[in-house]
Structure 1
Amino acid sequence: MTMLPGLEAASLPADAIEVGRIADAWGIKGWFKVLPYSANPEALFAARQWFLLPTEKGPQPFTGAASISVKESKVHSDSVVACVQGIGDRTDAEALKGSRIFISRAAFPAAAIDEFYWVDLMGLEVINREQENLGTVKELLSTGPQTVLVIESVQDGKPVERMIPFVSAYIDDVSLPTKTIRVDWQLDY
């Protein structure tokens, strides 16, 4: 199977993070709509190289991983649109529909002080002020006004799940180098 124009065969970087999916073609000049997985897709806008894996459903216009060089990506109306080198018409853009978009974690813009990418919090150990291990971060939930850490642990041989609001009232410290989050939270909450 031949590679579409604009796509080059590639391997996903070891630090690749899935950040979105191509929704459909946009216009007639090769632009396409992107469904970002983040409400603030700064990584999509900052990265000039995206990696794609083909859709799991329907026709696959390419196999394996591919890389694309982004010419421009921006917010348009209520969605994100992008154009890449080598894709100049609607037909080629439509062929990418459903493709999964990955970006190297190293290409993400630096987070501001006291801001964290969710992907960096996954798997961190959560320890309270009494030095009790509450478990590890399994996922994060956006509840509107705040984000909630979903913590997974095992107690008495049974899986236990805790939810801790990711707000300064309960989060004392996040240390990415030591892979820990210190919290004001008790085992029996």
Structure 2
Amino acid sequence: MSPDRILLGQFARPHGVRGLVRVQSFTADPSDIAAYGPVSDEAGTRTFRLRVVQPGEMPVVAVEGVADREAAAKLTGTRLYVARDRLPAPAEDEFYHADLIGLAVEDASGRRLGTIAAVNDHGAGAFLEIETGAQPLLLPFTRAAVPVVDLAGRRVVIAPPAEVVVPPSAAQPEGAAA
């Protein structure tokens, strides 16, 4: 996905019979899912105008042009994107996931360990999924575990806690192919 578009959320299940839909929102305040204007699907071919009708952790939205449960059900699973320039700049020490995915991962000595494949948060805090060429490495996304995020240099430096074992085959000299 292009870093020019940011994933804001995803349509979940229909709510009622009048075309309302629950949304899994990835915005800081879940009800802000409609605050940045129209959103589009992953391909950018369909545009949706949303209006929050029931705020909450999984807001219920009205989607312009969707008037019944059947039409709402067809939206289930659709990922919702917005142009990056419609979003505020992240605060210091905040990052859009799209900016982190693809960054090189190094240890403190400069050894290349892999690449950030995903940023996940299932409720207990964000963690990085690092593709190492061996088994993926899961690392908490905390200042202690990731002391350096260098967006300009397209890299992060990690200091894994003792509980996280970095596979020996993941460590490569700087400049080696991943």
TM-score normalised by structure 1 residue count: 0.64
Superposed CA offset, 1:99-138 (max 9, x none): 2142134133332211122232211111121111111012
Q: Is the 8 A contact 1:128 1:182 kept in 2?
A: yes
Q: Is the 8 A contact 1:23 1:35 kept in 2?
A: no
Distance 1:147 1:78 in 2: 17
**Partner residue in 2 for 1:61:** none
Question: Does the C-alpha gap of structure 1 residues 52 and 130 become closer, same or farther in structure 2, counting only changes over 3 Å?
Answer: closer
Number of residue-to-residue matches in the alignment: 159
Specify which of 130, 133, 145 is matched with residue 170 of structure 1. 145
Specify which of 95, 111, 125 is matched with residue 71 of structure 2. 95
Distance 2:3 2:119 in 1: 23
Q: Which structure shows the higher strand fraction?
A: 1
Q: Is the 8 A contact 1:43 1:109 kept in 2?
A: no
1:76 to partner: Cα distance: 3.0
1:23 aligns to 2:13 (yes or no): yes
**Partner residue in 2 for 1:32:** 21
1:13 to partner: Cα distance: 8.2
* Runs of 4+ more than 6 Å apart: none
Specify which of 19, 31, 35 is matched with residue 46 of structure 1. 35
Distance 2:159 2:3 in 1: 34
**Partner residue in 1 for 2:105:** 126
Secondary structure, counterpart of 1:103 in structure 2:
strand
Distance 2:103 2:159 in 1: 16
Q: Is the 8 A contact 2:53 2:62 kept in 1?
A: no
Distance 1:13 1:116 in 2: 15
Query: Which blocks of at least 5 consecutive residues in structure 2 are unaligned?
Result: 169-178
1:166 to partner: Cα distance: 1.2
Distance 2:98 2:3 in 1: 14
Q: Is the 8 A contact 1:136 1:152 kept in 2?
A: yes
Distance 1:171 1:113 in 2: 15
Distance 1:166 1:77 in 2: 26
- Identity, % of aligned positions: 23
1:150 aligns to 2:129 (yes or no): yes
Q: Is the 8 A contact 2:31 2:55 kept in 1?
A: no
Query: Which blocks of at least 5 consecutive residues in structure 1 are unaligned?
Result: 1-11, 54-63
**Partner residue in 1 for 2:175:** none
TM-score normalised by structure 2 residue count: 0.68
**Partner residue in 1 for 2:117:** 138
Distance 2:98 2:2 in 1: 15
